[in-house]
Chain A
């Protein structure tokens, strides 16, 4: 097993998609997809509806398996993944959707706490962490509200809070602003940037090309199941600055190394 410190500012691949193809129905939903995600990176995955963005993300959180090629998320390899290890991967990444996917009969606190509870974290720690998390997304004062009483933007903030509750190394966002108006969209994007600056790599899928162009981040263009353009921004100066604290790299290191082997020998652990 390779264990070494990631130096501040050092780049490390924490998620990768290699020659991935997926057939849905009669044609390729995805065809020979290749890209990697480095720690602390922010990447937009852009393409029109039906380009295969959601399918690609589903492969990445292993809700579906590729027909050929593989996905590597940290130490989890899709071709060797056992069903019972999928929950462990999900606790180490965050997922956000267009339709928020909050549990309607649980309040904000309970929805966010769920992610920590399923990971087996003690209630004292959850309560302690929750103050931080909910303050970060600006919803601490609404922690006892139910999703039905919140606006779309607020609901998405709750979903994001839930996604980052376990301090994931990667956050996958599938059209997180698809249901929101431009003003609210801006706020959600800012929140995602803030989370990214805290060390979490973000992969955000969207159909809105104009929206993402202005930020100067790396953009992967997807069309008809193929990557048509991948604007690599990996070693941009300001990005390096934003992730140059050691906590960031520690998180990526944990994601890529701490679980090596457990998919194959069935050991349990968090």
Chain B
């Protein structure tokens, strides 16, 4: 292991490096910050869309309409049978009065036409919510088939076509998202490794001189690794700050747009510090091996 003196000098070299390369460091950090911004925007968009999709999937319901005038015990019977089905998350009873009220609400100003009807034409119903992890279209189909034959059940309905379309859409979204994410990630790596290479190239002479006077590889590498870690931290902070700005701007038009949680931000910064130091280490190692 290196002695205390060497450790001190290596730290000194790191500080010197950060000070002397202020402008080039700033440029590197800006380039990396914006590359990372692209990455985090991508991640955030994916996250938000997948949250919306999940919510949408939750709202996909099966309606079991009951025959008119079914008594309470049969109603309870149906409820219990529905709850026994594995993929069912929640069963809500919607009475015909409630349904009418909702309908009236939806009609708003035009609700007057309902008065023409006299009696309430709507049936009692169960609204069934599915568990999010269950394969919705298959599970819904099953419920529909099972419940259609039950006593007291008039009809079972769900947006079959919509559910199937929705599922295809989600699959497509995740697949393109994965491909896109890979491309974004690779370009970020490419940009950062090039930035690191340039920074080493600009210090080629001092590295050569250090080798000539007998500096160990470690003595030469450590400052680069520290610089890489600091660049990673600063550029990830920059990316996060920019993203926050973008988000609060976009939030005006897209209410409910979510930002990363605090742990996510910290994790991202640590990851970037790690990536920065690894990137620098690999680049300087390659350079020293020549």
Q: Residues of A at under 8 Å CB distance from B?
A: 61, 63, 84, 87-92, 95, 101-105, 114-115, 117-123, 162, 166
Question: Do residues B215 and A118 form an inter-chain contact, with CB atoms below 8 A?
Answer: yes
Q: Does B73 contact A (CB under 8 A)?
A: no
Docked complex Cα distance between A118 and B220 (Å): 9
* CB neighbours of A119 from chain B (8 A): 214
The one of A61, A101, A117 that contacts B209, using a Cβ cutoff of 8 Å: A101
Besides A102-B209, A115-B213, A122-B5, 11 more A-B contacts (Cβ < 8 Å) are: A84-B217, A87-B214, A90-B211, A91-B214, A114-B213, A114-B215, A117-B6, A118-B215, A120-B6, A120-B9, A123-B8
* CB neighbours of A91 from chain B (8 A): 213-214
Q: Which 3 A-B pairs have the closest CB atoms?
A: A90-B214, A91-B214, A118-B215
* CB neighbours of B217 from chain A (8 A): 84, 87
Docked complex Cα distance between A102 and B213 (Å): 11
* CB neighbours of A89 from chain B (8 A): 214
Residues 197-226 (chain B) with a chain A CB within 8 angstroms: 205-206, 208-217, 219
Q: A117-B9, A121-B5, A122-B5 in contact; A88/B214 too (CB < 8 A)?
A: yes
Question: Do residues B216 and A84 form an inter-chain contact, with CB atoms below 8 A?
Answer: yes
A121's closest neighbor in chain B, by CB? B5
Docked complex Cα distance between A89 and B212 (Å): 10
Q: Residues of B at under 8 Å CB distance from A?
A: 2-3, 5-6, 8-9, 20, 205-206, 208-217, 219
* CB neighbours of B206 from chain A (8 A): 103
The one of B2, B6, B20, B208 that contacts A105, using a Cβ cutoff of 8 Å: B20
* CB neighbours of A120 from chain B (8 A): 2-3, 5-6, 9
Counting residue pairs across A and B whose Cβ atoms lie within 8 Å, the total is: 59
Docked complex Cα distance between A88 and B213 (Å): 9
Question: Do residues A114 and B208 form an inter-chain contact, with CB atoms below 8 A?
Answer: no
Residue pairs across A and B with Cβ atoms less than 8 A apart, 8 shown, are A84-B217, A87-B211, A92-B214, A115-B214, A117-B9, A118-B9, A122-B5, A162-B213
Question: Do residues A118 and B216 form an inter-chain contact, with CB atoms below 8 A?
Answer: yes
Docked complex Cα distance between A88 and B8 (Å): 19
Question: Do residues A103 and B205 form an inter-chain contact, with CB atoms below 8 A?
Answer: yes
B12's closest neighbor in chain A, by CB? A117
Question: Do residues A87 and B208 form an inter-chain contact, with CB atoms below 8 A?
Answer: no
Q: A103-B205, A103-B206, A105-B20 in contact; A118/B214 too (CB < 8 A)?
A: yes
Give the Cβ gap from A85 to chain B, nearest Cβ, in Å: 10
* CB neighbours of B212 from chain A (8 A): 61, 63, 90, 95, 101
B220's closest neighbor in chain A, by CB? A118
A125's closest neighbor in chain B, by CB? B5
Give the Cβ gap from B274 to chain A, nearest Cβ, in Å: 26
* CB neighbours of B8 from chain A (8 A): 123
Docked complex Cα distance between A216 and B216 (Å): 39
Question: Do residues A87 and B215 form an inter-chain contact, with CB atoms below 8 A?
Answer: yes
Give the Cβ gap from B214 to chain A, nearest Cβ, in Å: 3
Give the Cβ gap from B230 to chain A, nearest Cβ, in Å: 19
Question: Do residues B5 and A90 form an inter-chain contact, with CB atoms below 8 A?
Answer: no
* CB neighbours of A84 from chain B (8 A): 216-217
A104's closest neighbor in chain B, by CB? B205
Docked complex Cα distance between A217 and B147 (Å): 111
* CB neighbours of A122 from chain B (8 A): 5
* CB neighbours of B5 from chain A (8 A): 117, 120-123
A102's closest neighbor in chain B, by CB? B209
Give the Cβ gap from A96 to chain B, nearest Cβ, in Å: 10
Docked complex Cα distance between A103 and B13 (Å): 13
Question: Do residues B213 and A90 form an inter-chain contact, with CB atoms below 8 A?
Answer: yes
Give the Cβ gap from B119 to chain A, nearest Cβ, in Å: 92
Docked complex Cα distance between A122 and B9 (Å): 9
* CB neighbours of A88 from chain B (8 A): 214
**Most chain B beta carbons < 10 A, residue from A104, A117, A122:** A117
* CB neighbours of A63 from chain B (8 A): 212
A119's closest neighbor in chain B, by CB? B214
Question: Do residues A118 and B213 form an inter-chain contact, with CB atoms below 8 A?
Answer: yes
A100's closest neighbor in chain B, by CB? B209
Give the Cβ gap from B131 to chain A, nearest Cβ, in Å: 60
* CB neighbours of B205 from chain A (8 A): 101, 103-104
* CB neighbours of B6 from chain A (8 A): 117-118, 120
Give the Cβ gap from A244 to chain B, nearest Cβ, in Å: 30
A110's closest neighbor in chain B, by CB? B16
Give the Cβ gap from A130 to chain B, nearest Cβ, in Å: 15
Give the Cβ gap from B200 to chain A, nearest Cβ, in Å: 15
Docked complex Cα distance between A119 and B206 (Å): 16
Give the Cβ gap from B115 to chain A, nearest Cβ, in Å: 88
Docked complex Cα distance between A219 and B158 (Å): 101
Docked complex Cα distance between A120 and B205 (Å): 22
Give the Cβ gap from B23 to chain A, nearest Cβ, in Å: 13
Docked complex Cα distance between A95 and B209 (Å): 10
Give the Cβ gap from B11 to chain A, nearest Cβ, in Å: 12
Docked complex Cα distance between A94 and B130 (Å): 79
